[in-house]
Amino acid sequence: MNAPAIASSRPGTTAAREKFAHLLRAEWTKFRSVRGWVITIVIATLLTILLGVWTGANSQEGCPGGPCHYVIPTGPGGEAVTDTYYFVNRPLAEHGSITVRVTSLTGVIETGMTPEGPARTEAAVVPWSKAGLILTAGPSQGSTYAAVMVTGGHGARMQWNYTGDTAGLPGRVSAASPRWLRLSRASDVITGYDSADGTRWTKIGTVSLPKLAPTVQAGLFVTSPSYSATTSSGITGGSGGGAPTHATAAFDRVRLRGGWLGDAWTGTAVSGGSNSPYAVGSGSGYHQANGTFVVTGTGDIAPDVTDGTPVDGPLAGLFIGLIAVVVIGALFTTAEYRRGLIRVTLAASPRRGRVLAAKATVLGAITFVAGLAGAAGAILIGTPLLRANGNPIDPVTALTEVRVIAGTAALVAMAAVFALSVGVILRHGAAAVTIVLTAIILPYLLTAAFPVLPASAADWLLRVTPAAGFAIKQVIPQYQQVAGNYAPSAGYFPLAPWAGFAVLCAYAAVALALASFLLRRRDA
Amino acid sequence: MSDAAIEVAGLRKRFGPTLALDGMTFTVSPGEITGFIGPNGAGKSTTMRVILGLDAPDAGHALISGRSYRSLRRPLTQAGALLDAAALQPSRSGRNHLLWLAHSQGVGTRRVDEVIGQSGLGKAARRKAGGYSLGMRQRLGIAAALLGDPPVLMLDEPFNGMDPEGIVWMRGFLTALAAEGRAVLVSSHLMSELQETAGHLVIVGRGKVIADTSVANLLAAASGERVTLCTAAPAGAAAVLERSGAVVADAGGGNLTVSGLAAERIVALLTDCKVPFSEVTPHRATLEEAYMELTKDAVEYRAVPARGPAR
């Protein structure tokens, strides 16, 4: 049976907590008893999931002869990687070193392509063209490695396992200004050095590659990523330009120490196969004469930031959900103001700050659960469908996937609480909805969905407006050692995921505090 | 602290240029219905909002059983109010409206069904409140006010929109609630709605109390000593009576209205002076007339600025 109509009051905090539970229950009853609100939330959630399923079922990555079914390789850290280069290699046992002099690094950008091959080329080396020494567990995609190299525009570097990157000597390599590089192995520990003259050496870095096989492949490598540039950006939208490139480097004074096995060099085009983004370039290969090696390669050894579909691909329905929760969040308070019901509410619960807290808690919880269902449904159903249709999906860790799904739900809930607070401040539903949608969604539309703003304005908008919160669903990290189109339209946000979300939270918190202040101060 | 169920002392409240409350002071006792009467704009609703802690007064205070409303832990168990019957979410059923209110006080579902029965909402409680007639909304508002079984009830214009049957029901219902020992404050701008139910009257105009009295006292005071005299010689009668200090007005059709003299004295004077007359009727004022008399200076038309000729 039911509890007695009037429960005995308990002293102190227990009573206060009990009271807040009463308020939560009252606000939940208010919400669930307006059928239109419940139906709107349910439909928005279902539409979000359905749009995810539709996206998954209808997107097909085109490769010659059907779907690609290209699996993006992952590095030792689980991230997506590009692992394509030309390798002049020999086996190396547990201890040894290789020293070399690089006397030139030149490149070619294939600016126009025809079915027969590059129609027009331009001699230029891209900044992240790489030539140097590499030691790798093997030629299979995503293998553990460490390398020292000269680059087209970023000086000498030591890089390892795709994401590791340390700078060495600056400057470009040329016949007049050559670079000496050395890579040495002591069991699992690899050390890279560089030198401008072959006598004074500087250690760039030491890395440990755990569980490195006793015998590895080591030698010279050259690779060169696609040229990419944002050629225009403005009212008409940004357009990116890109073209394959290849680089050629000249090495001499190769000196081997320690446990090198075999007595001949092998040329290997390391690549992910014909469906990989980097086909083996026509000019790839090497030529050895009089102790000088001329090696040409194309590709990159780096994290992959451009090729896959991010796991939030099927999440386009997020906007339906956002609009729905913003409208309902605002109405949850403004409907009471419109009809004078707020007086009934505040007469029943004179401690107004607690009423607002209860409203925000109930609305936040409902919209979080709805957002969770929508995001989880869209991603967990849509992504496997995308994969089944041959779309390469950016590999992400389970933790990242949880962050995207739970973060999207939190984004939705925070937008609802923001709308609720603005509703209390303005006491007018249409005005509150307009302002909140403008603040959250408009910047995103202008920068990411339909990028009409210049990059600097887009960057600024996504830092200072509540739309910064969309960063919570960014899947791929940005790497400074990879030239990419790090634009909002490509899924990149200027702020880190939680930092961006914190901006939205700050807006919601300030609005909630102002709403609480005004609610307590104003006559009802 | 006083024993008053509601104590209102020196309330002042200004809305922009309008002085809504100008020293409103009165008390409401348990066990009877107190009529809170005044023309529109007299400050009745504002006073009620201040009592409920909804509006903050510029000066003065209002207490429920000696405590300020906003300090009450479960206020609906101390005071129930019906301010505006239209304050509903139209798409929410009446029962769900009562349900959330009950939850906010920690009151059980059983009590919700009890007040639905008491207020005569019946099966309509499960329909959307947006479809209710004003009378049904008043009943729902009464049900909401009763949810916490409070010793104090405050109802703002509860007769509005009720059919005659509903008005009769409401009167009986309020009388019964007062008979249970509750303090019941009922506002109205029409005296006729309350003259048979209210035991005590607080008559207000322009934000302050004009009269704070029992119904019997008000009637006695307002009736005064006016007498209607029917005579074939109005001029002679007027001359005689005015000589004795009466104020005489011609009411037309051979009738005079005489004030300042008791009926017995008028009969004696006219008989002595041999002025013919056919009828002498002492005037009994209705509560309505007493009220009109009291508030004729206090009627505030919305179009007229608050600055009256008195200032």
Q: How confident is the model at residue B190 (pLDDT cuts 50, 70, 90)?
A: confident
Residue B274 has pLDDT above 50, yes or no: yes
- Residue B36: the pLDDT is 95
A423 CA: distance to closest CA in chain B (Å): 16
B126 and A CB contact within 8 Å: no
**Distance, CA of A193 to CA of A234 (rounded, Å):** 44
Residue B256, min C-alpha distance to chain A (Å): 52
Nearest chain A residue to B97 by CA distance is: A30
Tokens of B200: 């005590």
> Which residues of chain A does B108 touch, with a Cβ-Cβ cutoff of 8 Å?
2-5
CATH architecture of A81-303: Sandwich (2.60)
User: Which residue of A19, A29, A519 is the best one to mutate when testing the B interface, meaning the one whose CB has the most B CBs within 10 A?
Assistant: A29
What proportion of chain B, given as a percentage, has pLDDT over 90?
A: 56
What does DSSP assign to residue A447?
Answer: I
Q: Tell me the percentage of chain B whose pLDDT exceeds 70.
A: 91
Q: Which residue of B has its CA nearest to A35?
A: B91
Q: Does B70 touch chain A (CB under 8 A)?
A: yes
Say whether the ipTM exceeds 0.90: no
Distance CA A479, CA A502 (A): 22
A221 Cβ neighbours under 8 A, 6+ residues apart:
A85, A86, A87, A88, A130, A131, A132, A133, A134, A147, A149, A295, A297, A301
Of A240, A241, A233, A230, nearest in space to A452 by CA: A233
The C-alpha atoms of residue B161 and residue B139 are separated, in whole angstroms, by 11
Residue B83 at interface with chain A, using a CB cutoff of 8 Å:
yes
Nearest neighbour of B75 by CB, restricted to A343, A348, A523? A348
Q: How many CB atoms lie within 10 A of CB B267?
A: 15
Encode pLDDT of A399-439 as tens digits.
Answer: 889 999 999 999 999 999 999 999 999 999 999 999 999 99
Smallest CA–CA distance from A23 into chain B, residue = B104
Chain A residues near residue B56 by CB distance under 8 angstroms: 523
Q: Which residues on A lie below 8 Å from B76 (Cβ)?
A: 347-348
* pLDDT computed for residue A17 by the predictor: 63
Q: What is the DSSP pairing of strand B152-156 with strand B79-82?
A: parallel
**What pLDDT is stored for residue B152 in this prediction?**
97
**Which segment, A134-138, A491-495, B286-290, is predicted with the most confidence on average?**
A134-138
Cα of first residue to Cα of last residue in chain A, in angstroms, is: 37
Residue of A nearest to B100 (CA): A26
Domain locations along chain A? 34-60+309-521, 81-303
Encoded tokens for A110: 């294939």
CB A223 within 8 A of CB A270: no
Cβ-defined contact of A343 to B77 (cutoff 8 Å): no
Between B103, B104, B110, which is nearest A5 by CB?
A: B110
Say if residues A122 and A108 touch (Cβ distance below 8 Å): yes
Decide: A146 and A207 in contact? Cβ < 8 Å. yes
What is the sign, positive or negative, of the torsion defined by CA atoms of A226, A230, A231, A237? positive
Which of A279-283, A422-426, A504-508, B147-151 shows the lowest mean pLDDT across its residues?
A: A279-283
The type of residue at B118 is Q
User: What is residue A76's predicted lDDT score, i.e. its pLDDT?
Assistant: 87
Q: Are A92 and A218 in contact (CB under 8 A)?
A: yes
- Nearest neighbour of B92 by CB, restricted to A27, A34, A524: A34
Give me the CATH topology for the region B225-284.
Alpha-Beta Plaits (3.30.70)
Largest CA distance in chain B: 78
Q: Is A392 helix (H, G, I), strand (E, B) or coil?
A: coil
pLDDT band at A71 (very low <50, low <70, confident <90, very high): confident
In the block, tokens 């200032």 appear at: B311
B91–A524 C-beta distance less than 8 A: no
What is the reported pLDDT for A5?
42
Name the residue with higher pLDDT: B52 or A70. Answer: B52
Q: Please, are residues A413 and A364 in contact by the beta-carbon 8 Å criterion?
A: yes
Average pLDDT, chain B: 87
Asked if residue A408 lies in contact with residue A370, where contact means CB atoms within 8 angstroms, the answer is: no
Intervals of CATH 3.40.50.300 along chain B: 6-78+150-220
- The closest alpha carbon to B60, from B48, B72, B71, B50, belongs to B50
Residues 6+ apart with CB under 8 A from B148: A6, B74, B75, B76, B77, B78, B80, B105, B107
For chain B, where are the alpha helices, taking DSSP H only? 44-51, 94-105, 109-118, 134-146, 164-179, 215-223, 234-243, 263-272, 287-295
- Residue A131 CB-half CA count within 13 A: 32
- Contacting residues of A for B51, CB less than 8 Å apart: none
What pLDDT, in 10s, does the model give residues A205-218? 999 998 899 999 99
Backbone phi and psi for residue B20, each to the nearest 5 degrees, phi listed first: -80, -40
Chain B hits for A23, Cβ within 8 Å: 104
Higher pLDDT, B196 or A17: B196
Confidence of residue B151 (pLDDT cuts 50, 70, 90): very high
pLDDT at A72 (0 to 100): 79
Does residue A272 carry a pLDDT above 90?
no
Nearest chain A CA: its distance from B5 CA (Å): 17
Distance from CA of B76 to the nearest CA of A (A): 6
Radius of gyration of chain B (CA): 24
DSSP structure string for A263-328 = SS-EEEEE---TTSSSPPPTT-EEEEETTEEEEEE-S-EEE--SSSBPTTGGGTTHHHHHHHHHHH
Dump pLDDT digits (tens) for A296-353.
998 899 988 776 778 888 888 899 999 999 999 999 999 999 999 999 999 999 999 9
Q: Could you say which of A1, A6, A523 has the minimum Cβ distance to residue B77?
A: A6
Q: What is the mean pLDDT of residues A282-297?
A: 87
- Whether chain B has a CB inside 8 Å of the CB on A328: the answer is no
| DSSP H or E segment with residue A422 | helix A398-426
Average pLDDT over residues B111-124: 94
A33-45 mean pLDDT: 96
**Residue that wins the pLDDT comparison between A13 and A10:** A13
Tokens of B177: 């609630």
CB A459 within 8 A of CB A478: no
Q: Cβ contacts of residue A56 below 8 Å, gap of 6+?
A: A314, A381, A382, A383, A384, A385, A386, A388, A389
Tokens of B64: 């429920």
**How close are the terminal C-alpha atoms of chain B, in Å?**
36
- Give which of B155, B149, B99 is closest to B125, Cα–Cα: B99
Min Cα–Cα distance to chain B from A60, Å: 45
Categorize the per-residue pLDDT at A241 as very low, low, confident or very high, splitting at 50, 70 and 90: low
Nearest CA in chain B to A350: B70
Is the pLDDT at A237 greater than 60? The verdict is: no
Structural tokens at position B184: 């019941």
CB B202 within 8 A of CB B34: yes
**Strand order across the B255-259 sheet:** B247-252, B255-259, B226-230, B279-282
Per-residue confidence (pLDDT) for residue A114, from 0 to 100: 56
Does residue A392 contact residue A66 with C-beta atoms inside 8 Å? no
User: What is the rounded CA–CA span in Å between residue A68 and residue A274?
Assistant: 10
Q: What are phi and psi of A339, to 5 degrees?
A: -110, 5
Q: What pLDDT digit, counting tens, does each position of A469-483 carry?
A: 999 988 877 888 887
Any CB–CB contact under 8 A between B89 and chain A?
A: yes
pLDDT of B298 over the 80 cut: no
Residue B23 has phi, psi (to 5 degrees) of: 85, 35
Cβ of B268 under 8 Å from any chain A Cβ? no
User: pLDDT grade, residue A282 (50/70/90)?
Assistant: low
- Residue A421's H or E segment, with its range, is helix A398-426
- Closest by CA to B81, choosing from B62, B109, B96, is B62
At B310 the three-state DSSP class reads: coil
Q: Which residues of chain A does B149 touch, with a Cβ-Cβ cutoff of 8 Å?
A: 5-6
pLDDT at residue B80 above 90? yes
Q: What is the predicted pLDDT for the residue at A410?
A: 97
B146 touches A at CB < 8 Å: no
Q: Is B96 on the interface with A (CB under 8 A)?
A: yes
Which residue, A445, A501, A455, A409, is CA-closest to A239? A455
Chain B (19-38) residues lying within 8 Å, Cβ to Cβ, of chain A = none
Residues B204-236: tens digit of each pLDDT = 999 999 889 888 777 766 666 678 888 888 888
Q: What is the mean pLDDT of residues A86-103?
A: 94
Rounded to the nearest integer, the mean pLDDT of chain A is 87
What string of DSSP letters covers B19-84? EEEEEEEEEE-TTSEEEEE--TTSSHHHHHHHHTTSS--SEEEEEETTB-GGG-SSGGGTEEEES-
| Cβ contact A339–B149 (<8 Å) | no
pLDDT top residue among B285 and A309: A309
Amino acid at A206: T
CATH 3.30.70 domain range(s) in chain B:
225-284
**Contacts of residue B83 in chain A, CB cutoff 8 Å?**
340, 343-344, 347
Q: What's the CATH number of domain B6-78+150-220, 3.40.50.300, 3.10.129.10, 3.10.20.30, 2.60.40.420?
A: 3.40.50.300
Q: Residue B127 has what pLDDT?
A: 96
Amino acid at position B143, single letter: A
Contacts of residue B203, defined as CB under 8 A and 6 or more positions apart, other chains included, come to: B37, B38, B209, B210, B211, B212, B213, B218, B291, B294, B295
Predicted confidence at residue B196, as pLDDT, reads: 78
Which range scores top for mean pLDDT: A138-142, A168-172, B269-273? A168-172
pLDDT value of position A233: 43
Asked if the model's pLDDT at residue A11 lies above 50, the reply is no
Q: How far is CA B85 from the centre of its chain?
A: 17
Is residue A1 very low, low, confident or very high in pLDDT (cuts 50, 70, 90)? very low
Question: Residue B19: which pLDDT band, with cuts at 50, 70 and 90?
Answer: very high
Report CB contact under 8 Å: B89, A351: no
Q: Please write the tens of the pLDDT for every residue from A383-398.
A: 999 888 878 788 788 8
